[in-house]
Amino acid sequence: MEGDELGVAATMVDGDWQQQQRRRGGCIFNGNGKLLEELVLAAQEGVFVNVDSEFDLDNIVSAARIAGKKVNLLLRINPDVDPQVHPYVATGNKNSKFGIRNEKLQWFLHAVKAYPNELKLVGAHCHLGSTITKVDIFRDAAVLMVNYIDQIRAQGFKIDYLNIGGGLGIDYYHTGAVLPSPRDLIDTSCRVLLNLTKCQVTSILKPILYLEVRELVLSQDLNLIIEPGRSLIANTCCLVNRVTGVKTNGTKNFIVIDGSMAELIRPSLYDAYQHIELVSPSSPGAGISTFDVVGPVCESADFLGKDRELPTPVSGAGLVVHDAGAYCMSMASTYNLKMRPPEYWTNTLETTCPYSATLLRPMGLHPKPKWLLLVPSLHGCPTL
């Protein structure tokens, strides 16, 4: 990384992705269950491969032999850092299924050395989890990873890349919280004990310094890779639903909608919060109550939101679940014979969907380069 020199590439988790990405520039093939045939494809294409386990390394060696090409490797080290997120989206603590245990680092370095014709170790990687909102978590990980890279280099490997992953959260709660951006992740300061033989800092009287991650990486002559993930697109889409009816069981009130966990599974899967609003202004006199917003699917796990203060909607009203980018359509299923929702794209608020302009404006949504609307029912977007 030189000054502002930036590049863009894709992280892939299976061979199909590779097929799709192969003509679009550099890639990293990542995952804890990569198949041999996918690794052969990666070796043929010359993409970076993250090593996740002992068996993964064996498969990478086999793939390199089949492809007749040396594979560029990054070791995915599990730094055992708590990302302070739901356990289902934490990936870099010691109970995680991802990465190699840091105490096995030496074993992996010996193993890589044993295959000089098949493997070339070029970097180290970690990924702590998803929806992370505190930039200091990445900062601590960067410092830990630079220490591992020191250990790796001490064994004679020429390491050029540090991949500190990603998992940046977004303002899912719509509180106006200012969350770290990919740029903040690079600019954040960290307290480091510098290896003075390598750093470019002149004063030898200050072995402990506060550096930006950017400076730390540059001082170690590394290229930095980050994986901003959902933070790039999560707030560009919303799931537009129609209210089927309102009911109560005596203690709880429910708004029943046509959308469900089949279209958007995050709330059911890991209790994720997605912000919910009614499309139309509530009718005069509509009382505000606390509702669970639920779908028609035959599990009690089928909810989009719990305990939401909302005006009591009329049947047929529009209800929007925000921030459906990244993990709505990509995780949607046809469970309960529901159809996957049609997608409507728009450059402005005037869209190919005849109703969406009227739908979005009352919600105070700001135009973005692109909005994606997902509409669960056959009836199309709800009207005002």
Ligand X SMILES: Cc1ncc(COP(=O)(O)O)c(C=O)c1O
Residues that bind ligand X (CB under 6 A): 11, 30, 91, 127, 130, 165-168, 227, 229-230, 326
Residue 35 or residue 384: which is nearer to ligand X going by CB? 35
| Closer of 28 and 319 to ligand X (Cβ) | 28
Residue type, 154: A
d(CA 292, CA 249): 11
CA-to-CA dists, residue 374 to 8, 27, 259, 327, 369, angstroms: 28, 29, 10, 12, 17
CA torsion sign for 379, 381, 382, 384 is: negative
C-alpha dist (Å) from residue 362 to 70, 280, 320, 351: 57, 7, 12, 15
Q: CA-to-CA distance for 57 and 104, rounded, in angstroms?
A: 13
Nearer to ligand X, 214 or 230 (CB): 230
Cβ closer to ligand X: 127 or 338?
127
Q: Min. distance of Cβ 166 from ligand X in angstroms? A: 5
Tell the residue number behind the tokens 């990509």, with chain if given: 330
Residue 88 · residue 270 · CB < 8 Å? yes
Instruction: Please give the residue whose beta carbon sits closest to ligand X in the complex.
Output: 229
**Residue written as tokens 């020191």?**
150
Q: How far apart are CA 171 and CA 268, in angstroms?
A: 19
User: Which pairing describes strands 318-321 and 237-248: parallel, antiparallel, or unpaired?
Assistant: antiparallel
Least distance (Å) from ligand X to the CB of residue 329? 14
Instruction: Give the other-Cβ count within 10 Å of 20's Cβ.
Output: 11
Asked if residues 244 and 274 have their Cβ atoms less than 8 Å apart, the reply is no
Catalytic residue (choose from 298, 328, 353, 381): 298
**Distance (Å, rounded) from C-alpha 22 to C-alpha 24?**
6
237 as an active site residue: the answer is no
In angstroms, give the least distance from the CB of 230 to ligand X: 4
Q: Which is nearer to ligand X, 132 or 243 (CB)?
A: 132
| Closer by beta carbon to ligand X, 15 or else 311 | 15
DSSP 219: H
Q: Cβ(278)–Cβ(310) under 8 Å?
A: yes
The residue among 52 and 215 lying less far from ligand X, judged by its C-beta, is 52
**Nearer to ligand X (CB atom), residue 73 or residue 310:** 73
Q: Which residues are 257's β-sheet partners?
A: 243
Cα separation of 290 and 48, whole Å?
Answer: 50
Least Å distance, CB 2 to ligand X, is 24
Q: Are 134 and 180 spatial neighbours (Cβ–Cβ below 8 Å)?
A: yes
Q: What is the DSSP string of 26-56?
A: -EEE--SS--HHHHHHHHHHT-EEEE-SHHH
Please name which of 348, 353, 337, 352 lies closest in space to residue 370, comparing C-alpha atoms. Answer: 348
> What residues are labeled active site?
298
